[in-house]
Chains A and B, each alone.
Chain A
């Protein structure tokens, strides 16, 4: 693998909250790369720093030190329009609680990132038709969020995250508010899109079965990288990968138990 298909580089990323004696380190110098077309999972216990990491990449938080480089540019230096453009065009964000605007129809929610960046008319219509078919939400486009089921809402949110064709989709516990059936539908769709379009997805989760859809998983403990797992696409089925994920999680539990 060459540097060319490396789209995101995280270098010695540190994030501290508070000052002086109350200072806590959420991230202690994490470094990793994200490759193009990868489905990367981030796992770890509560408070391990996985959501902080995702929020730093999403520019929802400013790192205390270290670099986040997307396509060769340090996103920490972005301000104003550049920052808004980054949020709207370069990343797509999938929230645990969907965060759909409940006074807009599904279609209006999905096209919002396009409208914000001046794309409208025929191009927008074509894009929405394609993405809606892929996520199986064509029938609900004219409905308001209150009329949709949780699974439909999250697929509408996924369509919104994907519509502007971002370099990377960041997902924060996307199945956190869904039942297992809808979780499976969503993950199948995301995996299919990752597979067919080589769309890079980075997902935070603590659910092993959801994580087993990933091609690679980073395990974080106490703000540092603890372990890395890679799924061999040809040889391994999700269920065998799931077994390996569970083993690492058990080790992590055991690991901290040993320290304590």
Chain B
């Protein structure tokens, strides 16, 4: 009988409150996704080549897990409180009918455990599907799709998910239930929780509002104009000042905005029609009583948006790293060609060519470039320090281009081209801008025409060498200038049939084993991409994960805060019905309240995020080199759409709940 009741109550909770149940499932999915990270294809692959870095990342996971436990706790806590609050009358009845408090507690405990079990049964398969999906999708996007995908089921992850989820659920239930031990039955049955409208001193409100706006603007100002080009100490000081004034400003703003709404309503009161005054006062009351929750949610949203933007940009940047060659073997011509004749190696190689890259002792006359650079804003430092002491033969570069399937460069005997691989995107645009007009460069008293195009395709498999500024020169000139006329290294391209059959990664790994036997020194695309992928996955995955978590928590807090408020003030809607308001009018009012409530949170968060993201990208991280702007824009648009969609879904769910409750109100509910 007791268990039957527990099951029935739990089922009722689930049906009646999608918000509650939904957040439980989100919690499970969040935990599993994080904990199963090491089973993901990308991670499995990375750990074979960058085991040390991956190990470090995986050591981070328990920390991130603890942080997300902490935040998910809030999510579940608010959802549970909303759920429990709606059943206070029922609890009062149980007590009045002679149920012992211990039994009531046991009943709630039983319900929690039962709901947890059902949530796990639904949530875990969803989490599994989702992680498999992301595993495949990331693999595909990164060029890994080729690896034989195996379904990964992590029992450790499941175990920890279940533990974490139960801890979070039981803890929030306990915190909610402990005060019930002392609550009188009457308090349960007649909820008169409406905190009396404190006539917030209008003057104080306005002061808070102005302080809030001033502090926020100060934070924006520091972020936009003061953080740039500072040494570490000053930057830390400014950054701290920005954080303090930003957080303080947000809190002050929400503290003050309630009073402002009140003034606004009072002014337009005699012109208002229908429920507009009521709607406004409801919003004002929510803001006044919940200003702290609003500020926290708004700041959480800001963190969420910044995290997601950062994650997307990092991911997009690293992913777009293009493959130029598969292997760069270092050795004499004799050593390399003997290695290439070995059957195991030969069968896999499509093309191989020497890379003639060398230092030169000749001083170039680069005054024209320098004076052009000097005229470009921000490039003064580059103009001063510009020098070039590396040369690259045109035939090597053209071999690279043709192996990649690109068209070669035509270089006449009196022409040279500018080349750089420095991982600094602004430098590229300075160079492009400077050489656009067609400059000349002096080599050994002779003027050479500089091609107006700028080149940056990586000439070796790994990014192990960085050239600040080198010249691509005709082969004959290379012979005259080079300090070392031996090839720098030999580039190998794998056969297309092989990469198609095995997948790029496995093909490279196979070649790797063969080359290893020859005893030659070499770099592979794999180790280069390995490092890049590691950054991509680590930075994107974790930041996007945390971002989404914060987004969901902020929304759930705002949504449940509103719904709890509405339920506590249910009697107002009964009075409105008596005064001749109709149900649909009240639903419209509730919807307006929800829109305004969410808009208040979102407005500040979005404004701050725009500044926040700007600060983030200008001062703390750069978009990785070679990041295609269009990719970032497309991804940002997708993220923005997803964000709008998330908000839309949340707002609709809250509206639906609110309207359902209003429609259930009967005029006889009074008292």
Identify the A interface with B (CB < 8 A): 55, 58-61, 80-81, 83-89, 93, 95, 97, 99-105, 107-108, 111-113, 115-118, 120-122, 124-125, 142-147, 160, 164
Q: How large is the interface on B (under 10, 10 to 19, 20 to 34, 35 or more residues)?
A: 35 or more
Give the residues in chain B near A142, CB-CB below 8 Å.
Answer: 266
Which partner residue on chain B sits nearest A97 by CB separation? B671
> When the two chains form their complex, are residues B281 and A87 in contact, meaning their CB atoms are under 8 A apart?
no
> When the two chains form their complex, are residues B275 and A60 in contact, meaning their CB atoms are under 8 A apart?
no
With contacts A61-B668, A102-B197, A143-B199 taken as known, whether A108 is within 8 angstroms of B578 at the C-beta atoms is: no
B194 contacts partner chain A, Cβ-Cβ < 8 Å:
yes
Listed from nearest, the 3 A-B pairs whose CB atoms lie closest are: A88-B580, A146-B196, A87-B580
> When the two chains form their complex, are residues B270 and A116 in contact, meaning their CB atoms are under 8 A apart?
no
Give the residues in chain A near B269, CB-CB below 8 Å.
Answer: 107-108, 111
Give the residues in chain B near A83, CB-CB below 8 Å.
Answer: 582
> When the two chains form their complex, are residues A84 and B581 in contact, meaning their CB atoms are under 8 A apart?
yes
Provide the bound-state CA to CA distance between A105 and B571, in Å: 17
B572 contacts partner chain A, Cβ-Cβ < 8 Å:
yes
CB distance from B289 to the nearest CB of A (A): 10
CB distance from A88 to the nearest CB of B (A): 2
Give the residues in chain A near B575, CB-CB below 8 Å.
Answer: 95, 99-101
B362 contacts partner chain A, Cβ-Cβ < 8 Å:
no
Provide the bound-state CA to CA distance between A81 and B584, in Å: 10
Provide the bound-state CA to CA distance between A102 and B391, in Å: 82
Provide the bound-state CA to CA distance between A221 and B282, in Å: 43
> When the two chains form their complex, are residues B582 and A93 in contact, meaning their CB atoms are under 8 A apart?
no
> When the two chains form their complex, are residues B194 and A116 in contact, meaning their CB atoms are under 8 A apart?
no
Provide the bound-state CA to CA distance between A221 and B544, in Å: 72
B174 contacts partner chain A, Cβ-Cβ < 8 Å:
no
Question: B interface, by DSSP: helix, strand, loop or mixed?
Answer: helix
Q: With A115-B277, A116-B274, A116-B275 given, can you name 10 additional A-B contacts, CB distance below 8 Å?
A: A83-B582, A95-B670, A97-B671, A99-B574, A101-B278, A107-B269, A111-B270, A112-B576, A118-B273, A124-B270
CB distance from A166 to the nearest CB of B (A): 10
CB distance from B151 to the nearest CB of A (A): 55
> When the two chains form their complex, are residues A55 and B668 in contact, meaning their CB atoms are under 8 A apart?
yes
> When the two chains form their complex, are residues A120 and B580 in contact, meaning their CB atoms are under 8 A apart?
no
Which partner residue on chain A sits nearest B573 by CB separation? A101
Residue-wise, chain B 262-304 has the 8 Å CB interface mask toward A (1 for contact) of 0001100111111111100110110000000000000000000
> When the two chains form their complex, are residues A87 and B577 in contact, meaning their CB atoms are under 8 A apart?
yes
> When the two chains form their complex, are residues A89 and B282 in contact, meaning their CB atoms are under 8 A apart?
no
> When the two chains form their complex, are residues A147 and B270 in contact, meaning their CB atoms are under 8 A apart?
no
Residue-wise, chain B 545-572 has the 8 Å CB interface mask toward A (1 for contact) of 0000000000000000000000001011
> When the two chains form their complex, are residues B670 and A99 in contact, meaning their CB atoms are under 8 A apart?
yes
> When the two chains form their complex, are residues A105 and B274 in contact, meaning their CB atoms are under 8 A apart?
no
> When the two chains form their complex, are residues B275 and A115 in contact, meaning their CB atoms are under 8 A apart?
yes
CB under 8 Å from chain A, chain B span 351-410:
none
List 21 A-B residue pairs with CB atoms under 8 Å apart, sorted by A's residue number: A55-B668, A60-B578, A60-B670, A87-B579, A88-B581, A99-B578, A102-B194, A102-B196, A102-B197, A103-B194, A103-B197, A112-B576, A112-B579, A116-B275, A116-B579, A116-B580, A116-B581, A120-B270, A120-B272, A125-B270, A145-B197
> When the two chains form their complex, are residues A146 and B582 in contact, meaning their CB atoms are under 8 A apart?
no
B96 contacts partner chain A, Cβ-Cβ < 8 Å:
no
Which partner residue on chain B sits nearest A59 by CB separation? B667
Which partner residue on chain B sits nearest A147 by CB separation? B199
Residue-wise, chain B 627-671 has the 8 Å CB interface mask toward A (1 for contact) of 000000000000000000000000000000000000000011011
Give the residues in chain A near B265, CB-CB below 8 Å.
Answer: 108
CB distance from A195 to the nearest CB of B (A): 26
> When the two chains form their complex, are residues A115 and B284 in contact, meaning their CB atoms are under 8 A apart?
no
CB distance from B620 to the nearest CB of A (A): 44
With contacts A93-B578, A99-B578, A99-B670 taken as known, whether A115 is within 8 angstroms of B196 at the C-beta atoms is: no
CB under 8 Å from chain A, chain B span 102-152:
none
Give the residues in chain B near A88, CB-CB below 8 Å.
Answer: 579-581
> When the two chains form their complex, are residues B582 and A113 in contact, meaning their CB atoms are under 8 A apart?
no
Provide the bound-state CA to CA distance between A211 and B328, in Å: 106
With contacts A104-B278, A118-B274 taken as known, whether A84 is within 8 angstroms of B668 at the C-beta atoms is: no
Provide the bound-state CA to CA distance between A80 and B583, in Å: 9
Which partner residue on chain B sits nearest A143 by CB separation? B199
Give the residues in chain A near B574, CB-CB below 8 Å.
Answer: 99
Partner of B582, one of A58, A84, A89: A84
CB distance from B588 to the nearest CB of A (A): 12
Give the residues in chain B near A143, CB-CB below 8 Å.
Answer: 199
